[in-house]
Amino acid sequence: MAAVGSGGSTAAAGPGAVSAGALEPGTASAAHRRLKYISLAVLVVQNASLILSIRYARTLPGDRFFATTAVVMAEVLKGLTCLLLLFAQKRGNVKHLVLFLHEAVLVQYVDTLKLAVPSLIYTLQNNLQYVAISNLPAATFQVTYQLKILTTALFSVLMLNRSLSRLQWASLLLLFTGVAIVQAQQAGGGSPRPLDQNPGAGLAAVVASCLSSGFAGVYFEKILKGSSGSVWLRNLQLGLFGTALGLVGLWWAEGTAVARRGFFFGYTPAVWGVVLNQAFGGLLVAVVVKYADNILKGFATSLSIVLSTVASIRLFGFHVDPLFALGAGLVIGAVYLYSLPRGATKAIASASTFGPCPHQQPPGQPPPPKLSSHRGDLGTEPFLPKLLTKVKGS
């Protein structure tokens, strides 16, 4: 992925980029399409695989691993990976890396301390996701977790003074309605569930996770306005806080049991797969997400819901009834509508009027400025919003 990322970034830099000038238009267009399809595949797999793998690992018979240790291990691996990437950026010069980290982490300690708040919330969110997925079917969680789009949008309006189009507000209402229908189906006992699962606790955990995701993402974006730190530096700083706070949470929640049974108690290849997916999957998405526009991200989220549902039927015996299908369909439609750029929503809104075609520019007027993709990213990030929000804020 490193070669793809470096090549794609130069090609996307504009007409002045060297690589773009060296390629014929048709070749550059074909390469861009391939990168978009690769991005779509990565986003879909990351969205669905983490949820399915956590559900699988938490429902296997036998000793159950401690979720708090998995959260800590993911933070450690993520931090070490970012440290290696920064080391590579410094061309393997240890002295330059040490001086850089001393300046960025210690000298600019105020900026570092600002990351303690989102890191605390992200650590809490990761633990809540384990609780939610342990008590809800993977497909139900995948649908319900899209409430993070609603919470992120509301926090962005309150904290960043952003405005939403009428179509986006309507899509948020549609999203809430779809999630409510799915939860009504879950409460009605649409699918058999093990006795040790508590849907009420799962719903409370996923709602709290969505609230924390929305607030932390917008807060992170706000404090990094004008910051020059790279995404890898910010992830390393978050990893340092996340590891420390995760250890505190481990000691508080399961310290006695971990001390008695061991940190890696219950770890199987499936558990290590979850940890590696959580640690590296989000970093991989951070690399490819710049090649995916907002519509593609919304489409990826919709595909991941379908994939999670189909896989849940095969792996966990999940039963899809008409009520769940209706709710999931509303959520998929809402995600797509919300991900449309502002220009597209205006075109939809004016489609029934008698004005000039929205795609035609009136004579004598300059073309409108190109819309930034930054705004629409707000609610369409994949399952691990933590890393994607960092890309947007950096």
What is the per-residue pLDDT for 199? 85
CA distance to 19, 69, 70, 74, 310, per residue, from 280 (Å): 29, 17, 13, 8, 25
Tokens 């990030």 — which residue? 381
The widest CA-to-CA distance across the chain, in whole angstroms, is 77
**Exposure letters 331-346 (e unless 16+ CB within 10 A, then b):** bbebbbbbbbbbebbe
Q: Domain segments of the chain: what residues?
A: 49-187+196-345
Residue 275 and residue 70 in contact, taking contact as beta carbons nearer than 8 Å? yes
- Considering the entire predicted model, what is its pTM? 0.72
What is the per-residue pLDDT for 9? 35
What is the per-residue pLDDT for 45? 86
Cite the DSSP H helix spans in the chain.
Answer: 2-11, 18-22, 25-59, 67-89, 94-101, 109-114, 116-135, 138-144, 147-160, 166-187, 199-223, 231-261, 269-276, 282-288, 294-316, 322-339, 342-349, 385-393
* The Cα angle at residue 16 between residues 12 and 22, in degrees rounded to 5: 80
CA distance 244 to 336: 38
Q: What is the pLDDT along the chain (394 residues), one digit of tens a residue?
A: 333 333 333 333 333 333 334 445 566 677 777 777 787 788 888 888 989 999 999 888 888 999 999 999 999 999 999 999 999 988 888 999 999 999 988 888 888 888 888 889 989 999 999 999 998 888 899 899 989 889 988 998 998 888 888 998 999 999 999 999 998 877 766 555 665 678 889 999 999 999 998 898 888 877 766 566 677 888 888 889 999 999 999 999 999 999 999 999 999 999 999 999 888 877 777 677 666 666 677 778 888 888 888 988 888 888 888 889 999 999 999 988 888 876 655 555 454 444 444 444 444 445 444 433 333 333 333 333 344 444 444 4
CA distance 158 to 211: 14
